[in-house]
Structure 1
């Protein structure tokens, strides 16, 4: 099966991620997005955590940090559209989380948020 065949959803055209899926990224989602004004400074974890959960829930991405969205398996030939979408969401989440953490803390979290 070729990559083109995998993306075809029968006669309905290319396979896409449904808007209701946590794997869906809206066209307005971007790495510079700040979904809460509360920035973690090392002392305000409880408040920050609740604000982050609320922001991610509004973006339908809370399931990622709760461990409910598992990484799709890679096919031997090509990556599935779900795996590509999962990787894109993971990269976006890392960027969003860095945006709500004080820059002084970035060196200590850079390699732990992967």
Structure 2
């Protein structure tokens, strides 16, 4: 329930973290692949603004923006998530190049 304080500041209820595996940035859906073109038309040098906006939306929808903005940094090679990070990072790179 939304409450309003005396200063008319709206306080929203706490939202629990999702337990859905697809919300994990390392999750790769079985239909995702290296050759998928996420946006159309592809980048041609003249359409950077619209391509960038469309690509950003597509990357956000796939929960992979963290690999582009640096908020999911590469772990140490001996960390248990290292191989997962490499796989997802390479997937994002391939989407950008297709």
Question: Which residue number in structure 1 is paired with residue 85 of structure 2?
Answer: 86
Residue among 32, 36, 54 paired with 2:35 = 32
Tell me which of the two structures has the higher relative contact order, counting C-alpha pairs closer than 8 angstroms and 6 or more residues apart. 1
Question: Which residue number in structure 2 is paired with residue 9 of structure 1?
Answer: none
More strand by share: 2
More helix by share: 1
Larger Rg: 2
Equivalent residues, number = 78
| Unaligned ranges ≥5, structure 2 | 1-20
RMSD over aligned CA atoms reads: 1.3
Is it true that 1:60 corresponds to 2:63 in the alignment? yes
TM-score between the two structures when normalised by the length of structure 2: 0.72
1:38–1:51 Cα contact (<8 Å) kept: no
